[in-house]
Amino acid sequence: MKKILLLGCGNMGGALLKAWAEQTDHEFTVADPAKPDLPEHVTQVDSVDELDGAMFDCLIVALKPQLIDTVLPDYLPVLAPDGVISSIAAGYSASRLAAHAAGRSVIRIMPNLPAFISKGVSGLYAHGDVPEAATGLIEQLALCSGEIVWVDSEDMLDRLTAVAGSGPGYVFEMLRAYIEAAEALGFSAEDARTLVLGTVQGTLEMARQSDRSLEDLRNSVTSKGGTTAAGLNALNGSGVYSDLIRDTLQAAYERAVELR
């Protein structure tokens, strides 16, 4: 069992903490004067003074990036010398975290929105030479909220942010447009939502369970001269949809680099 201190507990931090508290036997303390609603057996403090000399194996930063430089230094004295600093804050690099705590292990976690229902995909990046015990602890926590992908550079974490971190926003927008188009064909808002979300959910599950390529699965429902072929031609016959997706990810990646 490890003693873990969470700095800040907003929406994402709270969702992750709930999964961690339910699925592990670690001891959690939250430092957040806003007094968030916390899982049972999680301790809350307003400031470092209330920790009364306690030492922690892991310090997880769940603050807004603009607050980190002000708040983090106050809590470093309660992190064990061999402790690990982790962060779920977007736009705040591992090198900046390491500059606050020379000699400590630093691992960034980039979760995405479905972590709220333990169906997320998190990117993990270990800065420099991080002991196996530290990577094992952070990996265990990240797996509580879904799948994980380790990357070997901060640049790749920015690329992962463009794909998975921002990804739910793209998907929600595509679903919104798909439902709107179904309504334009004459379906009620309720029926359009049922048709679209059910189709997407079933198709996604089929793709996950199949060893066939997505191209092969697409072709299996596409008859020459049929309705699906006509729709696919309108969607991406000229390659414009593929280009749009690439442009979307590139724009998000470039912004992630700017925020680093």
Tens of pLDDT, residues 161-186: 999 999 999 999 999 999 999 999 99
What is the reported pLDDT for 194?
98
Mean pLDDT of 31-54: 92
Question: Which are the contacts of 252, defined by CB distance < 8 A and separation ≥ 6?
Answer: 161, 162, 166
What is the reported pLDDT for 102?
78
pLDDT exceeds 80 at position 187? yes
When pLDDT is cut at 50, 70 and 90, the band that residue 90 belongs to is confident
When pLDDT is cut at 50, 70 and 90, the band that residue 26 belongs to is very high
- C-alpha count within 13 angstroms, C-beta hemisphere, residue 15: 16
pLDDT exceeds 80 at position 260? no
When pLDDT is cut at 50, 70 and 90, the band that residue 83 belongs to is very high
Query: Which class for 56: exposed (0-12), middle (13-18), buried (19 or more C-beta within 10 A)?
Result: buried
Mean pLDDT of 69-73: 95
Q: Which tokens is 24 given?
A: 């592990």
| CA angle (172, 9, 39) in 5-degree steps | 100
Residue 144: Cβ within 10 Å count: 19
Mean pLDDT of 74-80: 94
What is the reported pLDDT for 255?
94
Q: Quick check: helix, strand or coil at residue 151?
A: strand
Mean pLDDT value across the chain? 95
Most confident of the following: 36-45, 49-58, 200-209: 200-209
Q: Mind listing the domains of the chain with CATH numbers?
A: 3-165 (3.40.50.720), 167-259 (1.10.3730.10)
What is the reported pLDDT for 14?
93
